Structure 1
Amino acid sequence: MPAKLSVNLNAIAMLRNRRDLPWPSVTGIGRIALAAGAHGLTVHPRPDERHTRHSDLPEIRSLIDDEFPRAEFNIEGYPTEDFLLLVEKHQPEQVTLVPDDPAQATSDHGWNFTTQAAFLTPIVKRLKKGGFRVSLFSDPDPDWVAAARDTGADRIELYT
């Protein structure tokens, strides 16, 4: 099921991590969002785990599988080998590839498909072979949006 609204849990995770307490609960807020009608949950697990922790991923996967089986899980991130292995382990319905450096504070641009299509195409192919729907983060440039199609991705997410 393609998501219509996927709630990003990173800000909740960041608040939890800043307090070094178990709340607010990422899965608790995810449960509230899904019960209120959200179609999915999105996380961006960075290597330093400053937002979503890797330990959150199996809990979110279980929440969706056990309580909201029609919802979907979207994991986004820069496609390092470690990220790809994390995705393959936790089996989200969608993987969104973003161009930010793993140490970057937040996403601030989309992929440059003119210079990065050759890098992205085999990664998209690998993910699709694994059964994942693939989305690419794109600036709202009509030429880049058209070029994204050539990578084999299923969809794009516009950076605005």
Structure 2
Amino acid sequence: MPAKLSVNLNAIAMLRNRRDLPWPSVTGLGRIALAAGAHGLTVHPRPDQRHIRFADLPEIRALIDDEFPAAEFNIEGYPSGDFLALVAAAQPEQVTLVPDDPEQPTSDHGWDFVANRDMLKAIVTRLKKSGARISLFSDPDAPEEQIAAAKATGTDRIELYTGPYGSCHDDSGRAAKELEKLGKTADAALAAGLAVNAGHDLTVANLPALAKKIRGLAEVSIGHGLTADALEYGMAGTVGRFLKACGW
């Protein structure tokens, strides 16, 4: 089965937040994305609410529950007490834990699973009691001992950070090298019994090669590139383009 597509709404929220106005509508564009075939919606609520606002979460939850019950809500973030409270209230189908500092503009590295194994194991155990699937953000070139430590946390999946691969949009040789790293890490994760997600700077142009390299790719979460394309093709048309790039 091709990788499922989760549309990250943070870039839409950031555009909305430039004015004290309700547009563009985060839930409205989420609705269009799901109606066009997206399999889920992703948000990353940061402490300063510069992108998604905390008040958006119940509205997105209601959108999925009321209109698209087969879709999934994925909430990602650093597992602070405030974040865990938001997750408990929103009851997402998937929680993706990232090692972000609150001041980071975007996620740009994966967990050190060895150093953080005990902390992550406690958080994963707590979150799984709600029935949520758990994914942990991983470097694209995580060695086998890191993957083994990720497995030991009890997580269901890792999400490969594809930023270095996405940054090679003008250098096919370097992109091929980054793709090899991603494939090797994905193979190790799959061999360990972990499912594999991917996200960051993925586009219609670079998705097919990634999907071909990682045969067991379960899900891609895409925000910036998808939102940029939506300015040209519209949200519905863009979702269709990305689904095709995933192999649907």
Give 1:159 shift.
0.5
Q: Is the 8 A contact 2:114 2:150 kept in 1?
A: no
- Residue equivalent to 1:73: 73
Matched, 1:155 2:161: no
Task: Give identity over the alignment, percent.
Answer: 78
| Counterpart Cα distance in 1 of 2:135 and 2:154 | 10
- Residue equivalent to 2:123: 123
The partner residue of 1:145 within 147, 159, 165 is: 147
| Counterpart Cα distance in 2 of 1:145 and 1:14 | 33
TM-score by length of 1: 0.95
Residue deviations 1:38-94 (CA, integer Å, cap 9, x gap): 000000000110000000001000000000000010000000011101100110000
- Residue equivalent to 1:92: 92
Give the AA of the match of 2:107: S
Give 1:154 shift.
0.5
- Residue equivalent to 2:59: 59
Matched, 1:108 2:108: yes
| Counterpart Cα distance in 1 of 2:57 and 2:94 | 14
Give 1:117 shift.
0.9
Give the AA of the match of 2:153: T
- Residue equivalent to 1:31: 31
Which deviates the most, 146-155 or 64-73? 146-155
Give 1:103 shift.
2.2
Q: Which runs of 4+ in 1 moved over 3 A?
A: none
Say which one has the larger Rg: 2
TM-score by length of 2: 0.62
Give 1:18 shift.
1.3
- Residue equivalent to 2:7: 7
Give 1:142 shift.
3.7
Matched, 1:41 2:34: no
| Counterpart Cα distance in 1 of 2:156 and 2:40 | 17
Task: Say how many residue pairs are matched.
Answer: 158
| Counterpart Cα distance in 1 of 2:52 and 2:127 | 21
Counterpart of 1:114 in 2: which secondary structure?
coil
Give 1:147 shift.
2.4
Query: For residues 20 and 145 of structure 1, do their structure 2 counterparts lie closer, same or farther at Cα, with a shift above 3 Å needed?
Result: farther
Give the AA of the match of 1:127: L
Give 1:20 shift.
2.6
| Counterpart Cα distance in 1 of 2:6 and 2:151 | 22
- The root-mean-square deviation of aligned C-alpha atoms, in Å, is 1.1
| Counterpart Cα distance in 2 of 1:142 and 1:40 | 30
Which deviates the most, 95-104 or 35-44? 95-104
Is there any run of 5+ residues in structure 2 with no aligned partner, and where? 163-248
